[in-house]
Amino acid sequence: MKIRVLGSAAGGGFPQWNCNCPMCDGQRRGTINAKARTQSSIAVSQDGVDWVLLNASPDILTQIRNFPALQPGRAIRDTGIRSVVLMDAQIDHATGLLMLREGKILELYCTEPVHDDLSVTNPILKLLTHYCDPRWHRIGFTPQDLFSPIGAEHLEFQPIPVSGKAPPYSSHRNDPHEGDNLGLSIRDKRTGRTVFYAPGLVQIDERVEAAWQAADCLLVDGTCWSDDEMALRGIAHKKAREMGHLPQSGPGGMIEQLARFPDKRRVLIHINNTNPILDEDSPERAVLTAAGIEVAFDGMEIDL
């Protein structure tokens, strides 16, 4: 199984277009050692030829240009993208679907709450019917609801509902539904090697714990360093946990949780533009390095 990190930043990317926090300003000026990043998405393949997108960010066209395997040029119209799986209905994870409208068929996998949000309150899928054929494949979320997306018949996807909120535009924003947010365990049926992917994760419950135990690689939420990071930067009063993201530092934080699995590859993704770990020379980044925890970057490749 091959995994390509197309985008490693949280919503808005890094540097964020309208932000002059120390991280964004420092990256623009070159005063910190930090790579620019597009908004979070990965691609998974069983053979390096056919690819499944996990989320379609607003930066998808840039990400395709930066990864030639997604445009192999075998015919007058061509793509290496065979299907798309959505983890949630957040704008930074679903708006890129509009950029794929020129394809004849869009094979889309998502849960019913996500499909509802993208059909009614934010009707991206209705808009797409005027340009292509978006074919919905419903994702269930019981242990029996395993599936192999089109183009990845040798890979087995196990959806795992995770705690969180529906998007701000959702009609049930303050009434969480199971299936609003997913983690995915993806297992190569030929080798048994497994990755657990969850760009949004606030709680390690029994289901997530079991998935972590079974995985060889954990590719998980790295949005904020501290719970009050946004407030400390003078940007917002919301805490990381209130937004559905487990901070890295502090009691029960992601570093402490990942420390229980030293034998696994551990990678943080969906890094917010305010997070000091973006600076590769920062004390916070040194803490992660000492703990054996990696920080995803655009173009990162993982082979399992």
Q: What is the mean pLDDT of residues 25-52?
A: 98
Measuring CA to CA, how many Å separate 279 from each of 18, 30, 31, 161, 233? Answer: 19, 11, 10, 32, 15
Unique residue bearing structure tokens 């030639």: 68
Give the pLDDT score at 237.
Answer: 81
Per mean pLDDT, which range of 49-53, 110-114, 142-146, 295-299 is the poorest? 142-146
Could you tell me the pTM of the whole model?
A: 0.97
Residue among 106, 91, 243 at smallest CA distance from 170: 91
Structure tokens at 167: 């998007």
Structure tokens at 235: 């940007």
Give the pLDDT score at 209.
Answer: 97
Give the pLDDT score at 56.
Answer: 98
Per-residue pLDDT band at 174 (split at 50, 70, 90): confident
**What residues have CB less than 8 Å from 129, skipping those under 6 apart?**
none
Tell me the pLDDT tens digit for each residue of 57-74. 999 999 999 999 999 999
Tell me the pLDDT tens digit for each residue of 212-247. 999 999 999 999 999 899 888 888 788 889 888 999
Alpha-carbon distance 200 to 186, whole Å?
A: 16
Q: What is the mean pLDDT of residues 191-215?
A: 96
pLDDT over threshold 90, residue 265: yes
Domains in the chain (CATH in brackets) are 2-297 (3.60.15.10)
Give the pLDDT score at 23.
Answer: 96
% pLDDT > 90, the chain: 91
Give the pLDDT score at 144.
Answer: 84
Alpha-carbon distance 295 to 6, whole Å?
A: 14
Per-residue pLDDT band at 106 (split at 50, 70, 90): very high
Give the pLDDT score at 39.
Answer: 98
Alpha-carbon distance 140 to 110, whole Å?
A: 8
Give the pLDDT score at 259.
Answer: 98
Burial 281-297 (b: 16+ CB within 10 A, else e): ebebbeebeeeebbbbb
| Contact indicator for 139, 158 with CB cutoff of 8 Å | no
pLDDT over threshold 80, residue 258: yes
Give the pLDDT score at 125.
Answer: 97
Structure tokens at 246: 């487990």
| Contact indicator for 217, 302 with CB cutoff of 8 Å | yes
pLDDT over threshold 90, residue 275: yes
- Which helix (H) or strand (E) is 231 found in, with range? helix 229-232
Residue among 80, 103, 87, 91 at smallest CA distance from 55: 87
Give the pLDDT score at 206.
Answer: 95
Give the pLDDT score at 236.
Answer: 79
Give the pLDDT score at 196.
Answer: 98
- Which helix (H) or strand (E) is 116 found in, with range? helix 112-116
Alpha-carbon distance 251 to 139, whole Å?
A: 34
pLDDT over threshold 90, residue 142: no
Give the pLDDT score at 283.
Answer: 98
Alpha-carbon distance 163 to 183, whole Å?
A: 10
pLDDT over threshold 90, residue 92: yes
pLDDT over threshold 80, residue 143: no
